[in-house]
A and B are shown apart, each in its own frame.
Chain A
Amino acid sequence: MTGASALLPALLALPLIGAILVMLLPKEEPGLARGVSLGVSIATLALSLVILGLYDTKIASMQMVFDKEWIPGLGARFKLGIDGISIFMVLLTTFLMPIILLSSYKAVTSKVREFCALLLILEVGMLGAFLALDLFLFYVFWEIMLIPMYLLIGIWGGQKRIYASIKFVIYTMAGSLLMLVAIFYLYAQYGSVTGEYTLELSLLNRLVLPRDVQMYCFAAFALAFAIKVPLFPLHTWLPDAHVQAPTAGSVVLAGVLLKFGIYGFLRFAMPLFPYGAAELAPYMAYLAAAGIVYGAFVAFAQSDVKKLVAYSSVSHLGFCMIGIFAMNTQGIEGSIYAMISHGLTTSGLFLAIGVVYERRHTREMSEYGGIWKQMPVFAGLFLICMLGSVGLPGLSGFVGEFLTIFGMFISGGTAGEPSFWAEFMPHPMLLGAVATSGVIFGAIYLLYMFQKMMFGPLDNPKNKELKDVSWREIAVFTPLVIGIFAMGLFPKPFLQTMDPTVDQFVTRFEAKLAEPDGPAHIMGQAAVAPTPEPAQVEPHAGHNHAPGEAAH
């Protein structure tokens, strides 16, 4: 273990220590709690930038791996690592956290200390889940995230906050229970094949399960992650949670938490069960395409602006799902890119809604109108976030949408050379076309929202009192706006960083998919050769199993 490997645990420790520190501060001084937590989150951001600096963009596999024995009886290890897929998720988390804390200065005035500490604990949970390389560790972090989020909605939320928070928790937990069963199954299978019990991801990735079992296991994982994405029709917790959550909660939710769905598919569900993923890919892609259109339509029906943006997430994350099931570099990198961009633009939209909500205490679009005149600077910031979300070329949203749809469109290969995925993904062009229609619908509902709020006559007397954004609020938006432009104009450095990892992901997926069917085995060590002649059956020492012994 080199010195760099201490960086990742330090990244988790920093906000954790910060949270404890904040709780130790005197209750009467909310300003101190805000200051300390902001400082800690900025320090965490700085540390994550150091990690980015040390990250070698030419290496595909895990870097800065930290590996310690954790629960030896269970075979669970405290193993952390970072690669081209997780690095941007980590950066997105650390990038958004100071913004979230800064944005809540005025919005949260009760139990400030607890609020700040919970956000920092949430950061620990999210970073841990992105970095975990052990299934058990991941599951622990995955569930840890729920608690602060539950409290954030339940304590600082709106009127129906209890309903929304319980719905959020039960939805997510119900989804992840089947995943836990599948994890246990995997654990047992690996143990029975190799005689060694582990939950370490890199080892489990080498286990090839029988194809029918892969389908069940993939489905179990997919349910947990699809709820998180959220994939249509498992999305109904999202609008409730968003509407009831305080602005900070909405930003974390949209900015980071939703990304765990896609990340989970990429990190766990797809590499562990490639055949299951391949067989179920069309259905996932159909649902994703349906979700793009459905989310856009339903967003258009909203009168509550926060709900509108919440449904826009259903549509946007549909692009991400389409991208990963394109199973080519373009689609997957597009998907990751779209996730980061969504983290910036949608966070910006939620923050913008928070700005006007703090002033007017309503989210009904009909209450607004013509406020551009009153708040021109705010209008400009809001416009940029909105256009980024619409996917205007030159801003961040376009690159992700373009690449995901592009990836799906050519996922069956190009005219000359069909790809291995062509066999599994029927009608990729049709799916691509349906997804592309999202560019029309996206413009319709977002422009409608913008017009309702910013254009038209300034006829509501309450709006004539509105004050433009303060310097603090400008400071909240500035990094987002810079990010939106930078990612739109210079996507190459981002894509380059992901390239090796994503390439390797696709190659490994393809290789594991090509493994022969049969009882569970380690990759490249099929117990039974695919040919029927018994003379050629040569069981490998230590791994030979009669058919049916491994399969239940």
Chain B
Amino acid sequence: MQQTSNLLFLIPLLPLAGAFLNLFVWRVLAPTTGKYRQSDALTHTTAIASVLAAFGLSCYLIGVPLLEEFRAWQKLGDAAPETMGGLHQHLWTWIEVGSLKINLAFRLDTLSAVMLLVITGVGSLIHIYSVGYMHGEKRYPAFFGYLNLFTGMMLILVLGDSLPIMFIGWEGVGLCSYLLIGFWFDKTENANAGRKAFVANRVGDFAFLLGMFLLFYATGSVEFADLQEPNSIGALKEVFWGGERMGFWIALLFFIGACGKSAQIPLYVWLPDAMAGPTPVSALIHAATMVTAGVYMVVRMSFLYAHSTTAMAIVAVVGALTALFAAIMAFAQTDLKKVLAYSTVSQLGFMFVGVGVGAYTAGIFHLITHAFFKAGLFLAAGSVMHAMSGSGDIMKMGGLRKYLPRTRWSFLIYCVAIAGIVPFSGFFSKDEILAGAFGAGAEGWGPVLGKFLWATLSIAALGTAFYMFRLYFLVFGGELRCDEETKAHIHESPHSMTSPLIILAAFTCVIGAIGLPHLTGDLHLPTYLHDWLAPTVVDFKRDSLLMANGSPSIFEAHLSNGLTIGLMGIALAVGLIGIFAAKAIYGKGPSEKVAAMCETKNGKAIYDVVLNKFYVDEFYEWSIYRFFRGAANVLYQVVDRWLIDGIFINGSAWLIKKLGQGFNLFQNGQVHRYLVALVVGGAIIFFFASSPTVSFKYEQVSTNVVEFTPDFSSGTSIGGGLDAKGALISFDLDADGEPDVTKEYDPRNPMKVKWTFGGVGEYRVNMTMTDAVFNKKYSVTRTIHVKDLTEKGGAQ
């Protein structure tokens, strides 16, 4: 079941076109000389219109064709296929080489539909808010251009029908995040923060790419539809390396990718720094959309994760630890946006626990509710900072409830929602994750893992309620603590900024209704989101592939109504405790007791550790950045300059030069030196020439008779033949020390000396040559064997 839609491409294209207009066309059309700036109205109208149009088109496509298909699918009941194709559009083949084929194609199914509404819906509100917030900014068109570009890329990420297309969006949003974090780049910290975000994301992308390659290696495809085929799933179940399944390694790699994008341990460090960007950016990119892309990706690949309980356990545990640690780190922050940033990291951890325990719907549900209340919190924070002349130091705020009523009330609603108080949306989504964790159990998980996750998350939830209300009371409660000048400027933000706050607050109140608790029997409540996502994400109860192959586990264990309600009660109690604790301590402004506690020896130690975020940034600074710097310098100075270039390359050049200089001495043009060289050279040659090595050969011609021949052929023979002429050769054949035969040597007629020995045996024979020129004697003595010739010839 799959419909073709010719309009799908317009959804990402519209914001991209807006970006193109704002960044390029308007600038070219407008005169470029002088200090001209394109009109702000044109800029933001273009930007907002493009996103609103994408939102409208998304609503239409989801509300009409997709909903029809979904209804039809639902009607089939149990006979329905496991997945539903949704709307599909193939644009062009992007890359095709050999067996690798990547189509530029989009798919709108129930999962991407949810994301689409969040991105374009919340995105539109943030675009509208930016009009007021960025008013007077010099690079106004660039800001809206990047914001539009981001929206377009995010939509590509969500709509992409294959991993590489998703990756285009994935990297594209990273780029926009980089540009927008460093939007006010004249401050070096801002530029650094942007770069840090991009590099941390790239570490994740590295794993994403490897996961993609490995997936192709295993299954031969990178398209989501193909990957869910039984053949592919079978390949994923093969053991690959280290005793783990292929599916495990791929899932792990993709999860590392998700950690980069969604700021999970150990790659979360970039997100708090990313608050250097303008606040609407924090709301859109670093709260509502981009950072949730990792969660979306894991859910999109639920068919993969479902086949490795180990990978799912890793996802869940990393998520839970992130949720807890980030919540703790949020306690000591004094910057409004930094608190919210750690809160985002923590909430993303909640979502990962949701997807890690197989409660995919719960993860997406929390993603949706979080998008509303966290975007709202950021926008409200922006409104507060707008009022406070741009400062975000919560220690200098307080009592703002009087000055910023609209901001205050919406902020309170968001806080209640994130703290998990019924009936605000955060309660339902967080509760579903907690329930999922409590009930989760799988082969190889052990009996306590699910309970451990639940307990960790509950503590994190307690922390969340506490630090959010600490924030609320410090900002809006008590008395104003800022200086007079700032105080004089405090004002409620314009309507373009507060109306998005109110709309988001309204959604925060009601959006929980799409995911009411899963109760059975008479208490059964409609679970819209769960039903809506059923045809897209893996459902452990009905997925035939899981069941048929002896599925790894049954997640989503069924909890009784009593247990479900009990867990809800605990969650609610935890939220309330956190709120009241915060009220007790911070209700009237910064607590002196806490300050005093932090002054004690132990208290200060703990406070410092928390304030410095467990020194993780410092650890990275030393272990990675400094290491990289140091290694780069060592490689450059030592290996490149000194070893390769200095020793090998210039060293060999030096050697050749020196050799050349040496040879130079022989051709300096001074005749007397040539003459000296001639004489010395001649003398050397003469010396060697006159030092022949003498020897002789012998041959036994008959029994007892041996024939001797002098032999000058071996050894140093420079001129050897020449001066042997006229030399006297004498043989001592009876070993008495006296020459027995003496002859003058003639090379043209080599002499032969015959001698008769006494019989078979060994004899010592000496030959002496007396040189004709120098009258020098050369002598050689050899032992010869005289044999019985009837047995064997004695020739040598």
Contacts and interface: CB of A to CB of B under 8 A. Distances in A.
A142 interface: no
B186 A330 contact: no
Contacts of B742: none
A187 interface: no
B521 to A, nearest CB: 48
B94 interface: yes
Contact of A403 (B97, B168, B214): B97
Contacts of A496: 96
A370 B164 CA distance: 35
Interface string B628-642: 110111011101100
Given A439-B206, A496-B96, A414 B220 contact: yes
Contacts of A443: 198-199, 202
B167 interface: yes
A496 B93 CA distance: 11
A444 B199 CA distance: 6
Interface string A327-360: 0111001100000000000000000000000000
A482 interface: no
Interface in B332-349: none
Interface centre among B167, B171, B187, B238 (most CB of A within 10 A): B171
Contacts of B636: 297-298, 301-302
B629 A372 contact: no
B410 to A, nearest CB: 35
A470 to B, nearest CB: 12
Given A236-B645, A433-B210, A455-B185, A406 B199 contact: no
A414 B639 CA distance: 37
A123 interface: no
Q: Could you say which of A299, A399, A440 has the most chain B C-beta atoms within 10 Å of its C-beta?
A: A440
Chain B CB within 10 Å, residue with most, of A171, A328, A409: A409
Contacts of A299: 632
A454 B186 CA distance: 9
Interface in B664-708: none
Given A301-B636, A447-B195, A495-B97, A414 B628 contact: no
B241 to A, nearest CB: 9
A298 B641 CA distance: 10
Interface string A361-382: 0000000001011000000100
Contact of B94 (A167, A447, A451, A492): A492
B150 to A, nearest CB: 14
B632 A297 contact: yes
Given A403-B95, A409-B217, A393 B185 contact: no
A437, A492, A496: most-surrounded residue (chain B CB, <10 A): A492
Nearest to A403: B97
B137 to A, nearest CB: 13
Contacts of B539: none
Residue among B98, B170, B198 with the highest chain A CB neighbour number at 10 A: B98
Given A333-B97, A410-B217, A448-B195, A236 B206 contact: no
B292 to A, nearest CB: 20
Interface string A459-497: 000000000000000000000000000000111100110
A539 interface: no
Interface of B is mostly: helix
Contact of A414 (B186, B210, B217, B632): B217
A364 to B, nearest CB: 16
Contacts of A330: 97-98, 100
B162 to A, nearest CB: 12
Contacts of B645: 236
A458 B186 contact: yes
Interface in A429-454: 429, 432-433, 436-437, 439-440, 443-444, 447-448, 451, 454
Interface string B372-395: 000000000000000000000000
Contact of A491 (B94, B170, B213, B629): B94
Interface in A378-404: 380, 387, 392-394, 398-399, 402-403
A410 B209 CA distance: 13
A45 B206 CA distance: 38
Interface in B48-103: 92-100
Nearest to B23: A380
Contacts of A402: 95, 164, 209
A302 B637 CA distance: 10
Nearest to A447: B195
Contact of A393 (B171, B214, B216): B171
30 contacts: A171-B649, A297-B632, A298-B635, A300-B632, A330-B98, A373-B186, A380-B23, A392-B172, A393-B164, A393-B168, A393-B172, A399-B95, A402-B95, A403-B95, A403-B97, A409-B214, A436-B209, A439-B205, A440-B203, A444-B202, A448-B195, A451-B185, A451-B195, A455-B182, A456-B186, A456-B187, A457-B187, A457-B188, A495-B95, A495-B97
- 10 closest Cβ contacts across the A-B interface? A455-B191, A455-B185, A301-B636, A301-B632, A329-B98, A236-B645, A393-B168, A409-B213, A300-B632, A297-B632
Given A237-B649, A409-B216, A433-B210, 10 more contacts: A297-B632, A301-B637, A334-B97, A393-B171, A399-B95, A402-B164, A414-B216, A416-B220, A440-B199, A447-B178
